[in-house]
């Protein structure tokens, strides 16, 4: 049952793949056609630097608008896309589109920021990932440091040695790496030290009730300290209230991402939040 999400800044319906009247094969066909039909788009959510209050990054988030006007959440279709391997061409489209858009912002004279792209576990385990990233940078002309890849902690942990090797090659290219959903993936501190990453993103489940839940507050404080000890930037995701923002900023969190500081918006809306440099 599609339900209206009144809190979003555009009106749409979200669809639950498992109970929307289409069967699995129909969903697979629709998903296969979506790329060719141009039904995907990216929204961008700002990341705010606490010290300056400025937008210092933006995460590209995939959106699927079907021909009949339904919006389908990535949480719904990415698992299916991963299962049938379609995440590989979709992920390649996302990489190119995000790099192209960021390059266009820079060409239009806006203050440069890195754009962050989510990389699926399936993409990470393929040996052409580094090649695909190199291609996206070359074809769009985006400088490597203006691309950040977000890889979940659990994806990194599925084959630690391969992850270490891939991260090293990506870092040699000059792209930045963030560990997404940090705190949910069981990585040991020993592994963390060996992953060549720049940033930890604290999973939003730890941000909920941070001002009242001692457990979450303690975990978040520990992750901030850990990140800083390792020389990493730390981002809190899913920050929804001014109280959460104040709590995190008082404890030294570097960057904030969440509905409180900015919802995911179109590329055109995002760029208005970056002041031109010339």
User: Hey, which residues does 119 pair with through a beta bridge?
Assistant: 151
How far apart, in whole angstroms, are the C-alpha atoms of residue 93 and residue 101? Answer: 12
Closest distance to ligand C2E from the beta carbon of 237 (Å)? 6
Among 120, 163, 176, 187, binds ligand C2E (CB under 6 A): 120
Among 198, 240, 269, 273, binds ligand C2E (CB under 6 A): 240
Residue 87: partners with Cβ closer than 8 Å, 6 or more residues away: 78, 81, 120, 122, 123
Closest distance to ligand C2E from the beta carbon of 61 (Å)? 4
Is residue 22 near ligand C2E by the rule CB under 6 A?
A: no
Q: Which does 192 bind (CB under 5 to 8 A by kind): ligand C2E, Mg ion, none?
A: none
Contact indicator for 262, 37 with CB cutoff of 8 Å: no
Q: Which does 258 bind (CB under 5 to 8 A by kind): ligand C2E, Mg ion, none?
A: ligand C2E
Is residue 92 near ligand C2E by the rule CB under 6 A?
A: no
Residues 213-232, one symbol each (x = binds ligand C2E by CB under 6 A, - = not), give --------------------
Is residue 75 near ligand C2E by the rule CB under 6 A?
A: yes
Residue 257: partners with Cβ closer than 8 Å, 6 or more residues away: 45, 46, 47, 48, 59, 201, 235, 236, 237, 238, 239
| Residue with Cβ nearer Mg ion (118 or 216) | 118
Report the relative pairing of strands 55-65 and 71-72 from DSSP bridges: antiparallel
Q: Return the closest-CA partner of residue 95 out of 65, 59, 127, 133.
A: 133
Q: Return the closest-CA partner of residue 117 out of 207, 43, 39.
A: 43
Return the range that interacts with ligand C2E (CB under 6 A); candidates 68-76, 170-178, 186-194, 220-228. Answer: 68-76
Instruction: Write down the H helix ranges in the chain.
Output: 24-36, 74-83, 87-107, 121-125, 129-140, 153-158, 160-173, 189-194, 214-229, 242-250, 267-271
Contact indicator for 58, 262 with CB cutoff of 8 Å: no
How far apart, in whole angstroms, are the C-alpha atoms of residue 225 and residue 214? Answer: 16
Is residue 155 near ligand C2E by the rule CB under 6 A?
A: no
Is residue 114 near ligand C2E by the rule CB under 6 A?
A: no
Closest distance to ligand C2E from the beta carbon of 178 (Å)? 9
| Residue with Cβ nearer ligand C2E (135 or 204) | 204
Residue nearest to ligand C2E (CB): 258
Q: Return contacts of 4-9, CB within 8 angstroms, 24+ apart.
A: 7/259, 8/263, 9/263, 9/265
Binding footprint of Mg ion on the chain (CB under 5 A): 118, 150, 180-181, 237
Is residue 264 near ligand C2E by the rule CB under 6 A?
A: yes
Closest distance to ligand C2E from the beta carbon of 231 (Å)? 23
Is residue 125 near ligand C2E by the rule CB under 6 A?
A: no
Is residue 61 near ligand C2E by the rule CB under 6 A?
A: yes
Q: Which residues of this chain interact with ligand C2E, rule CB under 6 A? A: 45, 61-62, 73-75, 78, 91, 94, 118, 120, 150, 180-181, 204, 237-240, 258-259, 264
């Amino acid at each position: 049952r599609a339900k209206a999400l009144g809190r979003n800044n555009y009106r749409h319906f979200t669809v639950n793949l498992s109970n929307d009247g289409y069967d699995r094969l129909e969903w697979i066909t629709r998903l296969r056609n979506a790329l060719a039909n141009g039904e995907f788009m990216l929204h961008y959510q700002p990341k705010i630097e606490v010290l300056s209050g400025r937008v210092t990054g933006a995460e590209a988030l995939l959106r699927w608008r079907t021909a009949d006007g339904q919006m389908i959440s990535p949480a719904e279709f990415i698992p299916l896309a991963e299962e049938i391997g379609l995440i590989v061409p979709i992920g390649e489209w996302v990489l190119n589109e995000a790099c192209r858009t960021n390059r266009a912002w820079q060409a239009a004279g806006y203050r440069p920021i890195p754009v962050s792209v989510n990389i699926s576990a399936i993409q990470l385990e393929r040996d052409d990932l580094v090649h695909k990233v190199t291609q996206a940078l070359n074809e769009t002309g985006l400088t490597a440091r203006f691309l950040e890849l977000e890889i979940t902690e659990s994806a990194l942990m599925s084959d630690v040695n391969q992850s270490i090797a891939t991260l090293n090659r990506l870092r040699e290219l000059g792209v930045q790496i963030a560990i997404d959903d940090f705190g949910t993936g069981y990585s040991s501190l020993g592994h963390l030290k060996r992953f060549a990453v720049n940033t930890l993103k604290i999973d939003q489940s730890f941000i909920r009730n941070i001002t009242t839940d001692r457990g979450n507050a303690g975990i978040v404080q520990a992750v901030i300290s850990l990140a800083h000890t390792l020389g990493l930037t730390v981002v809190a995701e899913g920050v929804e209230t001014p109280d959460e923002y104040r709590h995190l900023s008082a404890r030294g969190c570097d960057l904030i991402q969440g509905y409180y500081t900015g919802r995911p918006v179109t590329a055109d809306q995002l760029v208005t939040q970056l002041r031109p440099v010339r």
